[in-house]
Amino acid sequence: MKTTPSTLLKTIIAASLMHAAQAEYVDGVGSVYTPVGLGGNTFSEGWEALTSTAYPGNGSFPGNGAWTGALLSQEGPQAGTNGLVKVANGFAGGPYPASQSIYFGGILSMPNVHGGELAVQASGTGVLDDVKTIVFHVDIGEAWTYDFYNGEAPVLHVVSSTGTHEVEAEFTSLYAQVYNGEVYMNFKWEDLYINSWAFQYDLDGLGDVSSFSLEFHGVQHAQIHGLGLEQSDQAEIESVLPAEAE
């Protein structure tokens, strides 16, 4: 296989991120998925290019149209197993794969407008046996200084032998930010960033898990550049996430 300069640069950066145990958006390269390195038996997959080129035919501006199906993961040992789906549109628009990212479309120009809901869904062979820990990565570009709608972190919904459960993140880390321009609001110029988030969920004690979904809402005009999903059958009582960005 021919190695292009961009491929070589991506390989070098991915190697450095693996040493740092991070998976993040890199300026000039894009979203690079590298697992944090959970212990025990693991399951790992990532989405590095959530674009119309990688996933054609899933709508256009303002994003109200339905997707043709789940957007399957592209990277990692379990690539192609689980998928990202659109759960709901937002206000007069919705999320769709655009030229550089999944874009939460719409026509309003104001902060914190609901742009729609997405979910990574796992079932069958996409669920690790005796899963106890899940780490979820999201590379999301801000709009009007907001990324997740109302600032709410992704929520894990679990179906197991003990019933249905809603699990909030045990640990959260905003571990990297890439400057992405400015916006004028509140009578001053505000910086915008592409944020790399990681969320750690504890499933220990929930019984045998048959399926789960990680559901999150973006603000209108936000952009999803990449995602990562890690599972382990080892319970973690402390955070395994990369340290917060300074």
| Per-residue pLDDT reduced to its tens digit, 104-153 | 999 999 999 999 999 999 999 999 999 999 999 999 999 999 999 999 99
Contact 21, 242 (CB under 8 A): yes
Contact 216, 37 (CB under 8 A): no
| 10 within domain boundaries | no
pLDDT classification of 246: cutoffs 50, 70, 90: confident
**In this predicted model, what pLDDT tens digit does every residue of 218-232 receive, in sequence order?**
999 999 999 999 999
3-state class of 93 per DSSP?
strand
Domain that holds residue 136: 35-232
How confident is the model at residue 37, as a pLDDT?
86
Please say if the pLDDT value at position 51 is more than 70: yes
Bridge partners, 53 (sequence order): none
* E strands present in the chain: 24-26, 30-32, 42-47, 71-72, 83-89, 95-97, 102-104, 114-123, 133-141, 155-160, 163-167, 171-185, 188-202, 209-219, 223-232
| 109 within domain boundaries | yes
Please say if the pLDDT value at position 7 is more than 60: no
Question: Whole-angstrom Cα distance, residue 109 to residue 88?
Answer: 20
Question: Whole-angstrom Cα distance, residue 123 to residue 131?
Answer: 12
Distance, first Cα to last Cα, the chain: 39
| 6 within domain boundaries | no
How confident is the model at residue 28, as a pLDDT?
87
Within 10 Å of residue 155's Cβ, how many Cβ atoms?
17
Asked which of 27-36, 124-133, 192-201 is least confident by mean pLDDT, the reply is 27-36
| 207 within domain boundaries | yes
Phi, psi of 6, rounded to the nearest 5 degrees? -65, -35
Question: Whole-angstrom Cα distance, residue 64 to residue 96?
Answer: 8
Nearest to 199 by CA among 164, 156, 163: 156
How confident is the model at residue 23, as a pLDDT?
59
| 2 within domain boundaries | no
Contact 233, 129 (CB under 8 A): yes
Nearest to 21 by CA among 245, 240, 246: 240
Bridge partners, 136 (sequence order): 199, 229
**In this prediction, what percent of the chain has a pLDDT beyond 70?**
91
| 94 within domain boundaries | yes
Q: State how many domains the chain has.
A: 1
| 83 within domain boundaries | yes
**In this predicted model, what pLDDT tens digit does every residue of 160-193 receive, in sequence order?**
999 999 999 999 999 999 999 999 998 999 999 9
State which amino acid sits at residue 134.
I
Asked which of 24-28, 37-41, 81-85, 130-134 is least confident by mean pLDDT, the reply is 24-28
pLDDT classification of 24: cutoffs 50, 70, 90: confident
The sign of the torsion formed by the CA atoms of 174, 176, 178, 182 equals: positive
pLDDT classification of 16: cutoffs 50, 70, 90: very low
How confident is the model at residue 10, as a pLDDT?
38
How confident is the model at residue 105, as a pLDDT?
98
pLDDT classification of 20: cutoffs 50, 70, 90: very low
| 70 within domain boundaries | yes
Please say if the pLDDT value at position 32 is more than 50: yes
